[in-house]
Structure 1
Amino acid sequence: MAENPAVAAIQDDLRKRGVKYVIGAYVDIHGAQKGKVVPIEHMQHMAAGSERYTGYALDGLGQAPNEDELASVPDLSHIIQLPWEPKIAWTPADLTFGGVPYPLSTRVALKAQLAKAADMGFGFNLGIECEIFLLRQAADGSLQTPDPNDRLIKPCYDIPSFVSNFAWLDKVSTTINALGWDLYSLDHEDACGQFEFDFAYADALTMCDRLTFFRFMAKHYAKEEGLIATMMPKPFADRTGNGAHFNMSLRDLASGANIFACDPKDDPRGLGLSETGYHFIGGVLRHGRALCAAFAPTVNSYKRLVRQGAMGTFSWAPVFNSYGSNNRTNSVRVPAGGGRCESRNADGSVNPYLAAALVLAAGLEGIRDKVDPGQPNEDNLYELTDAARLDRGIAFLPQTLEEAVEAFAEDPLVEATLGKGLRDEFIRYKTAEWQEYHLTISPWEIARYSHMF
């Protein structure tokens, strides 16, 4: 095989930095990382697609046992040397089949949608807020807050509980900044044991790669502390859940300018958003119920998407397909200052590539069709009467994974964006997930019914 000079330069640099092995990582339909590892000496072969995979052994790739293998091609522009094990480099990878990108690979699907945006002159900016629980697993398997003093009814922004978990927080934060992601804020979030990391937005593909690596990194550093880190949407019924809010804008590929930006005084709605930005939101709302399946893709997700549930206060989670200003009871929010919109549906279990592909497709349709999202909602929608909600034309988001998958299956945008193969695989796996959950007898049912009847 002829040596690729660009790969050789990266290979030589990694050797000098002590790297001995390279992981080519892609994600399955759930967003879980998969991949193979090669010694640095074989990096040229890996870059040419030498690492082959039996697709039938993985969820969501649509292959039967008799079919030829898939291969992965690493994206060496996004390579990361593991801070905790510098002998290993990690790089995201795209699946191929027969030498061409494989359309059932969700990273490939996002790249295809980004190309469609580029045809319209747009780049897609994305920032994902990383909410995550740091917990201890007890001998009985239950999850507990590691700091016994972290037990306030409203623990958001609590400084003592932040400092008591500083060792883990510092490791994660130091790594984020060392990687050049520009961490600009972190805090104790709204639930006991919950924290949030906010770093600078990037192009959508880069941001999705970063979320994938963040999960890997945060879990590793928790394990070093003898703890567990999880972005599971709702680990506790009586606490708020983990969002992964998508902060979105489009940029002009020619100038780099933010197409959503607008002086609030020039915006009749007063949110500081251009008409293109409002049309993008209009498309997101048009397909909001179907998008929910990608943003919130697990059974557990819908324990988070409630107004209050078992909690003593409101949940902060969206339950309505609506938008507004800096009002967190909407599913789509325009933060103070405008220039971007935030989808609050997304949670910590999201496959970011899949969700980003679909929400971008919905927003671009909104721009093409000039979809008007209506007037923003400024009041507390949790307290809105059904009559008032219907009068405004505000629909509920799906309330179970089953309902979300049904909306996903019925929306033609999904197949147009993902192709029939990836659409059908998502429906198949998520329907099976719902059915498995529904057929499980829970401890709650035993406790409630076994002595009642």
Structure 2
Amino acid sequence: MTALSSIYQSHNKARGFIYEESYPWTNDQLNAIQSKLAEAGVKYCVGSYVDLHGTPKGKFVPLSHFEHFAHGSELYTGYALDGLGQAPNDDEIASVPDLGMIIPLPWNPEVAWIPADNTLHDKPYEVNARVILQKVLKEAKELGFGMNLGIECELFVVKQNEDGTIQIPNTDDNLTKSCYDIKRFMDRYDWLDKMATSIDDLGWGLYSFDHEDANSQFEFDFNYADALTMCDRFTFFRMMAKHYASEEGLLATFMPKPFADKTGSGAHFNMSLYDLETGENLFKRPHSEDPRGLGVTELAYQFIAGILKHGPALCATFAPTVNSYKRLVRRGLMAYYSWAPVFNSYGRNNRTNSLRVPMSGGRVESRNADAACNPYLAAALALAAGLEGIKEKLDPGNPQEVNLYELSPSEMQERGISELPTTLKEAVNAFASDPFTRQTLGDTLYNEFVTYKSEEWRQYHQSIAQWEIDRYARLY
């Protein structure tokens, strides 16, 4: 399959046009794109935006309607969607496709998937997370910065039983430490091959994939890209993984912690800023020139400091579900440490920090982002926090190089290290009490996030789990 995205990027139109003064595509260009789609066998297009949770939404249109579709002809009742900030009496929102990325579905090339932005009255609708990310990217652009992002894609492939419970598909995938296991990898070869082949065909630059730390857990790593493109790819990746798993009679789940006694699924954000004129990585310098020895610039340290300053609030978008905080534990019910970041701290190749600078330098990895995050929302707030650190020339202090899991509370206090939120309720409270989040997202999206996530916690807290029945039903 041809990566059609590269064809349209050859028009030299930057990804993300919603804040440009004029529409970026001429009628001749739209006609050329429509012709290429027809030649590729495409019959339908969908302009796919996301709701508050990062779930793709959209209408399908026939290719004959392409020109109108490209200008935002498709209207939506926002009240029918989670977190889009509309009431039943509000005007409809539109979706305008970003033609810098067009992906014919690898499993059905008659349908072209195109990421889209919401507008209201022909203006960017800033209650949409993809729109907000572009707004923050514009602020970075005014400083001369672009943002590169790589997301490590982790997930479980499981069998769902008739009663809704899930289990590992093959019973001999039962090793205590199954990380990198070749036999268990080959057990899921058909699904893995479909995924890897599609990622390569799409031109994303897959460079490794493996059986991860938990049973029937896998990870895919492909090249980083500008932040908007990477968030689009991650959104499509999740949709593609679910489809190919369903072909095998299985479920691909991005639930961060589906099994209490196994490692959870992260979506580590690997971030750097680059010079918009030269493309130079502004975070990288030789280790020998870095007084702290991590191989990053003072700009990177300021970026890190900004994220640490707002770490508890950011946690609500990096880890946005009740289940997320079952992953963010030191050990839990596992036989060994969880790898999960529970501390608002940074260091070099030390995976007990929430922010890690890999040995190669030049980038900052946020480890508390998980597989359920809305990538646009998380990236927007991470970038905004990092830019604040740069503007205010903040200093993150010394990197932490010890195993933080083993420190006592007094030792943590001596080092000035605090723990990140331990429940969704704590995270939402931190999000709500930090003025930075409202300032970045605006009143409506801020209120929508707090409202939906507070309700998610309320419903969870008032539900009765099987654990409670097993523990208490016969106890008294």
TM interval, shorter chain, is over 0.9
- Map of 2:70 onto structure 1: 47
Task: Kindly report which structure 2 residues correspond to 1:300-339, keeping only aligned pairs within 5 A, or say none.
Answer: 300-339=323-362
Task: Kindly report which structure 2 residues correspond to 1:373-384, keeping only aligned pairs within 5 A, or say none.
Answer: 373-384=396-407
Residues 140 and 11 of structure 1: is their aligned pair in 2 closer, same or farther, counting only changes over 3 Å?
A: same
Q: Would you say 1:63 and 2:86 are equivalent positions?
A: yes
- Map of 1:445 onto structure 2: 468
Task: Kindly report which structure 2 residues correspond to 1:21-32, keeping only aligned pairs within 5 A, or say none.
Answer: 21-32=44-55
- Map of 2:285 onto structure 1: 262
Q: Would you say 1:295 and 2:318 are equivalent positions?
A: yes
Give the count of matched residue pairs.
452
- Map of 2:236 onto structure 1: 213
1:412 equivalent among 415, 435, 448: 435
Cα separation, 1, equivalents of 2:392 and 2:107: 49
Residues 92 and 150 of structure 1: is their aligned pair in 2 closer, same or farther, counting only changes over 3 Å?
A: same
Which string of whole-angstrom CA distances, capped at 9 and with x for unpartnered residues, describes residues 327-372 of structure 1? 0000000001110010001001100000000000000011111111
- Map of 1:91 onto structure 2: 114
Cα separation, 2, equivalents of 1:61 and 1:164: 41
Cα separation, 1, equivalents of 2:441 and 2:395: 25
Q: Which residue identity does 1:255 align to in structure 2?
A: T
- Map of 1:173 onto structure 2: 196
Cα separation, 1, equivalents of 2:277 and 2:266: 33
- TM (norm. structure 2) is 0.94
- Map of 1:282 onto structure 2: 305
Post-superposition offset of 1:61: 1.0
Post-superposition offset of 1:217: 0.4
- TM (norm. structure 1) is 0.99
1:202 equivalent among 219, 222, 225: 225
Q: Which residue identity does 1:431 align to in structure 2?
A: S
Post-superposition offset of 1:142: 1.8
Cα separation, 1, equivalents of 2:439 and 2:274: 23
Q: Which residue identity does 2:292 align to in structure 1?
A: R
1:244 equivalent among 264, 267, 271: 267
Q: Would you say 1:235 and 2:276 are equivalent positions?
A: no
Query: Could you say what secondary structure the match of 1:416 adopts?
Result: helix
Cα separation, 2, equivalents of 1:40 and 1:337: 46
Task: Kindly report which structure 2 residues correspond to 1:11-22, keeping only aligned pairs within 5 A, or say none.
Answer: 11-22=34-45
1:75 equivalent among 86, 98, 102: 98
Q: Would you say 1:184 and 2:207 are equivalent positions?
A: yes
1:145 equivalent among 168, 174, 178: 168
Cα separation, 2, equivalents of 1:402 and 1:324: 27
1:341 equivalent among 364, 367, 385: 364
2:183 equivalent among 154, 160, 166: 160
Q: Which residue identity does 2:294 align to in structure 1?
A: L
Cα separation, 2, equivalents of 1:229 and 1:197: 13
Cα separation, 1, equivalents of 2:167 and 2:471: 24
1:334/1:341 contact within 8 Å kept = yes
Q: Which residue identity does 2:118 align to in structure 1?
A: L
Q: Which residue identity does 2:242 align to in structure 1?
A: K
1:3/1:44 contact within 8 Å kept = no
Cα separation, 2, equivalents of 1:377 and 1:253: 32
Cα separation, 2, equivalents of 1:82 and 1:450: 50
- Map of 1:130 onto structure 2: 153
Cα separation, 1, equivalents of 2:136 and 2:411: 37
Cα separation, 2, equivalents of 1:116 and 1:126: 17
- What stretches of structure 2 of length at least 5 have no aligned partner? 1-24
Alignment RMSD: 1.0
Query: Could you say what secondary structure the match of 2:41 adopts?
Result: coil
Which string of whole-angstrom CA distances, capped at 9 and with x for unpartnered residues, describes residues 91-127 of structure 1? 0000000001101010000000000000000000000
Task: Kindly report which structure 2 residues correspond to 1:96-107, keeping only aligned pairs within 5 A, or say none.
Answer: 96-107=119-130
Cα separation, 1, equivalents of 2:319 and 2:166: 22
Which string of whole-angstrom CA distances, capped at 9 and with x for unpartnered residues, describes residues 42-92 of structure 1? 011111111000011111111110111000000111110111101100000
1:330/1:381 contact within 8 Å kept = yes
Q: Which residue identity does 1:241 align to in structure 2?
A: G
- What stretches of structure 1 of length at least 5 have no aligned partner? none
Which string of whole-angstrom CA distances, capped at 9 and with x for unpartnered residues, describes residues 383-435 of structure 1? 01111100111011000000000000111111111111100100000000000
2:376 equivalent among 336, 350, 353: 353
Post-superposition offset of 1:3: 8.2
Query: Could you say what secondary structure the match of 2:108 adopts?
Result: coil
Cα separation, 2, equivalents of 1:289 and 1:216: 29
Q: Which residue identity does 1:174 align to in structure 2?
A: T
Which string of whole-angstrom CA distances, capped at 9 and with x for unpartnered residues, describes residues 132-152 of structure 1? 101111233221111222110
Q: Which residue identity does 1:294 align to in structure 2?
A: T
